[in-house]
Amino acid sequence: MEDLSGKRGKTYTEVIANTDNGESIFVHPVFNKSGHVTCTIICSNSSGKFQTSTSSQIDIEAGVATWQDWAEGTVAVNTTDVLTGPVTGIRGVSVSGEITIEIVI
């Protein structure tokens, strides 16, 4: 689990293989009260989505967090969205092919 707590302005980038879940990223609620987390998926003959969580850091670390798909759903073109509400966890999911994700806190 990557912890982006206290790292405003930090960019996290990850390449996610075909049908894999990416690394779970913890975002401390203090740094995400107004939903200023930018999520980008870069697709090339692939598709993917982000999932967010409001579970505790302990649940995210233990792999038992509850995850919800982002509002954009599964996308097959490069897509950027700014989260509109506070979350404690973010991860990318490859639905098909290899995707690259970028998360900016």
8 A C-beta contact, residue 53 and residue 88: yes
Distance CA 72, CA 47 (A): 12
Distance CA 63, CA 43 (A): 26
- Whether the predicted model's global pTM rises above the 0.85 cut: yes
Which of helix, strand or coil describes residue 5? coil
The DSSP symbol for 44 reads S
Q: pLDDT tens across 16-75, in order?
A: 999 999 999 888 766 555 557 889 999 999 999 999 999 999 999 999 999 999 999 999
8 A C-beta contact, residue 53 and residue 83: no
Tokens 């790292």 correspond to 7
Class of the CATH-defined domain 2-104: mainly beta
